[in-house]
Amino acid sequence: MSRRVLVLNGPNLGRLGSREPDVYGATSYAGLVDTCQALGKELGLDVDVRETNDEGEMIRWLHEAADGSIPVVLNPGAFTHYSYAMRDAAAQRTAPLIEVHISNPYTREAFRHTSVVAAVASGTIAGFGIGSYRLALRALAEELGG
């Protein structure tokens, strides 16, 4: 029996592969989806990968996760640094929530050094490219007893 997991991606992540490949790598968004779903299957996780540029939609997805006790891998994108509404939705979690970032925010512009999500997440994984998602899924599987 597999456990459902949401992998939620914020603004501009749908442009992976074409958006600043020197920062975010050459893997496309479709490649990210494939990577997460394949690893999820291997780990016994039913991975549902989503992306939005809309803060309200992200909040609704976090509510869905809280209401269903669904674990989350969350790359908030730019929402990381200022979306207190998204942070408050993440704080309502009823299952593990792992914040991920493709790049290491601390090696970038100063405004990226602050995460409003980190304090309400189970943990944060950053700086390993698409591997950040693989590490997060493995951590979730372990956390869930798999």
Told to judge if 63 belongs to the known catalytic residues of this protein, a careful annotator would answer no
Catalytic site residue from 101, 106, 113, 133: 101
112 is in an annotated binding site: yes
113 is in an annotated binding site: no
88 is in an annotated binding site: yes
In SS3 terms, the chain reads as CCEEEEEEECCCHHHCCCCCHHHHCCCCHHHHHHHHHHHHHHHCEEEEEEECCCHHHHHHHHHHHHHHCCCEEEECHHHHHCCHHHHHHHHCCCCCEEEEECCCHHHCCHHHHCCCCHHHCCEEEECCCCHHHHHHHHHHHHHCCC
Told to judge if 113 belongs to the known catalytic residues of this protein, a careful annotator would answer no
103 is in an annotated binding site: yes
Total number of residues shown for the chain: 146
53 is in an annotated binding site: no
Annotated binding site for substrate: 75, 81, 88, 102-103, 112
| Catalytic annotation, residues | 24, 101
Annotated binding site: 75, 81, 88, 102-103, 112
